[in-house]
Amino acid sequence: MSVTKILCAIYTRKSSEEGLEQSFNSLDAQYEACAAYIASQKHEGWILARERFDDGGQSGGTLERPALERLLAAINANRIRMVVVYKIDRLTRSLADFARLVERFDAAGCSFVSVTQAFNTASSMGRLTLNVLLSFAQFEREVTAERIRDKIAASKKQGLWMGGLCPLGYDPHPDPMTRELVVNDAEARTVRKLFDLYDRHGRLIDVEREATAQGLCSKNHRFASGRVQGGGHLSRGQIHKILTNPVYLGQIRHKEQIWPGRHPAIIDDDLWARVQQRLQEAARRPRGQTPEAQTAPLIGKLRDETGDRLTPTHSLKHGRRHTYYVSHRLITGGTDPAGWRLPARRLEAQIAGAIADHLDRARTEHRLLQTPDLRADTDPDATAGELVQHLRQRPPNFLSDLLAAGRITPRTLHLDLDGAALAQALQIPRTDLSGDLLNINVPLRLRRRGIEAKLVIGQAHPEPDPVLLRALLQAHRWATALRTGTPLGDLARSAGKDQAVLRKRIRLAFLAPRIQRAILDGTFPPEHTLCQILPLLIPLDWEAQAHLFGM
């Protein structure tokens, strides 16, 4: 009777890189022991896989290991049916991680064998024994980690440097047995310069700009593997970390505790104290004091349909400053076709208009108060009328106070008014306001999203698209010139455009009168822009044109 072939993969791991450079190291010893065990099971059909899965210098506390990931990929592809290890803690030291691994092994029809512990996961007893042993392995790992943490804390309390990347301005002691830092004179000058710059300017952005201009660079780290890190310009985050690191005062920090260090200081006490005081004052400074925030009454008020906040920003075009409210993910995460980019002044005016229309309807329908009182000293309807006029003339300074929050979706704009601010503006007690007065839902039509969007909120007065209107008037002038015998080439040269462009745009002059009238009075569907219309194959039939444009 033929024996079923079982392809076996050997997995080896070592936590540290110590000794891996030797010709025969711990990984090789594990591999040979596992290979001998597989050879002893040849009668069971076990065959050793050619590929090796070795993780040198990889901790058993995580599953993010290159060789383990390759092994799991091979198991998922049904190339491996048995995983052989020297001990179970070579695979993982975490009980939770091991449970996930066994689940993945079972799903792929793969078993697990430990050579020195003589069991496999093919039987229930093997699983029980494995879980018991793995619990002890995890306990050993946690105890070891606690012991290391306690040793580091005790050593730092003695002022010793316990390894890691050396900060800018220091190098490790030439004697590897001496846990101290020594000053790097060239880098120390850079550190002192950064402290002096912040003491002079008091703003990280100014320090970053001047540090870049002066060619100040971060520390250049060269690792044993040959990899090089750092040596570039200093970012604001790096500068802030340097300015708040007590190592430059001759101290050692461990979590929240600071202890006297055994290394010399680079910064004197007076300069350190001045810089820390200015940093604390900057941290207490109210945020949002950027030029955009100072002129953006809706900052922090609006969110889009995904819950992302609309953030004020600006751009400069031909020397003119254009402000927008943009979905925050477009600033931090790049492009997103579903993101919003709304012209700020128009949006503020439209929201102010929507609030004004809402208050005006409530005023005319006597819905400002929960219970109308004709004997009241003040007339809220008259006060509301004045507020409505102010809102319609221009967004007042108190628009930020009047609006508590807003949510904008492709079809609806929802606004929540601040009850206390509205009551103060109407000169009535907050408790007298009608509950329905604080919530506004108005329909919304969207022209374009992604790069920039134009909104029509509520029952706004029709407004022609200036670009489309200008193109229509130009098309009529060109059509009239053609009727009088002017050659198309002459028209193209005088307009500074290609003849193909003129042919496309002249077609606008032959749109149905109903469509042209809608373009003139602003009732043409806003989603049909000039860029969207020109590529279309516009039929000659007027009814077909109306159907094409949804009219």
Do the Cβ atoms of 317 and 363 come closer than 8 Å? no
Q: How confident is the model at residue 52 (pLDDT cuts 50, 70, 90)?
A: very high
Nearest Cα residue to 86 out of 52, 37, 45, 43: 37
Tokens standing for residue 130: 């494995």
Q: What is the pLDDT of residue 32?
A: 92
The three-state secondary structure class of 462 is coil
Res. 541: pLDDT tops 80: yes
Q: Which one is predicted more confidently, 274 or 143? A: 274
Residue 532 CB partners (closer than 8 Å, separation 6+): none
Once rounded to an integer, what is the mean pLDDT over residues 455-484? 77
Which residues is 111 bridged to in the sheet?
82
Distance CA 142, CA 331 (A): 42
Distance CA 236, CA 238 (A): 5
Nearest Cα residue to 197 out of 251, 250, 252, 234: 234
Q: What is the pLDDT of residue 313?
A: 83
Residue 423 CB partners (closer than 8 Å, separation 6+): 429, 430, 432, 433
Once rounded to an integer, what is the mean pLDDT over residues 527-541? 80
Which residues is 84 bridged to in the sheet?
10, 113
Q: Which one is predicted more confidently, 177 or 79? A: 79
Q: Cα 138–142–145 angle (5° rounding)?
A: 140
Q: What is the pLDDT of residue 447?
A: 56
Distance CA 139, CA 366 (A): 73
Please give the helix or strand (H or E) that residue 404 lies within, else none: strand 403-408
State what percent of residues in the chain have pLDDT above 90. 9
Q: How confident is the model at residue 449 (pLDDT cuts 50, 70, 90)?
A: very low
Do the Cβ atoms of 61 and 96 come closer than 8 Å? no
Do the Cβ atoms of 363 and 350 come closer than 8 Å? no
Four-point Cα dihedral 426, 434, 305, 316, nearest 10: -10
Once rounded to an integer, what is the mean pLDDT over residues 242-258? 85
Res. 152: pLDDT tops 80: no
Q: What is the DSSP letter of 309?
A: B
Residue 516 CB partners (closer than 8 Å, separation 6+): 472
Res. 549: pLDDT tops 70: yes
Distance CA 307, CA 312 (A): 16
Q: Which one is predicted more confidently, 412 or 464? A: 412
Please give the helix or strand (H or E) that residue 367 lies within, else none: none
Q: How confident is the model at residue 292 (pLDDT cuts 50, 70, 90)?
A: very low
For tokens 């509205």, the residue is 422
Once rounded to an integer, what is the mean pLDDT over residues 270-280? 88
Mean pLDDT of the chain: 81
Distance CA 147, CA 164 (A): 18
For tokens 């030029």, the residue is 291
Tokens standing for residue 543: 């009814």
Distance CA 457, CA 186 (A): 62
Which residues is 416 bridged to in the sheet?
405, 439
Res. 320: pLDDT tops 70: yes
Per-residue pLDDT reduced to its tens digit, 85-120: 998 788 887 767 777 787 788 888 888 888 887 665
Q: What is the pLDDT of residue 450?
A: 41
Q: What are phi and psi of 440, to 5 degrees?
A: -125, 130
The three-state secondary structure class of 285 is coil
The three-state secondary structure class of 277 is helix
Q: How confident is the model at residue 433 (pLDDT cuts 50, 70, 90)?
A: confident
Q: What is the pLDDT of residue 290?
A: 47
Res. 8: pLDDT tops 90: yes
Do the Cβ atoms of 391 and 353 come closer than 8 Å? yes
Per-residue pLDDT reduced to its tens digit, 153-166: 787 787 788 777 88
The three-state secondary structure class of 52 is coil
- DSSP letters for 238-264: HHHHHHT-GGGGTEEEETTEEEE-SSP
Rounded to a whole number of angstroms, the distance between the first and last alpha carbons of the chain is 80
Nearest Cα residue to 298 out of 337, 345, 364: 345
Do the Cβ atoms of 190 and 168 come closer than 8 Å? yes
Distance CA 454, CA 467 (A): 13
Amino acid at site 389:
Q
Could you tell me the domains of the chain?
Answer: 6-141 (3.40.50.1390), 170-284 (3.90.1750.20), 302-457 (no CATH), 466-548 (no CATH)
Four-point Cα dihedral 339, 343, 345, 347, nearest 10: -50
The three-state secondary structure class of 342 is strand
Distance CA 45, CA 64 (A): 31
Surface-to-core class of residue 3, CB atoms within 10 Å of its CB (0-12 exposed, 13-18 middle, 19+ buried): exposed
Q: What is the pLDDT of residue 395?
A: 54
Per-residue pLDDT reduced to its tens digit, 333-384: 666 667 778 888 888 888 888 888 888 888 887 777 776 555 455 567 778 7
Per-residue pLDDT reduced to its tens digit, 173-186: 888 788 888 888 88
Q: Does the pTM of the predicted model rise above 0.75?
A: no
Res. 224: pLDDT tops 90: no
Q: Which one is predicted more confidently, 95 or 499? A: 499
Q: How confident is the model at residue 285 (pLDDT cuts 50, 70, 90)?
A: low
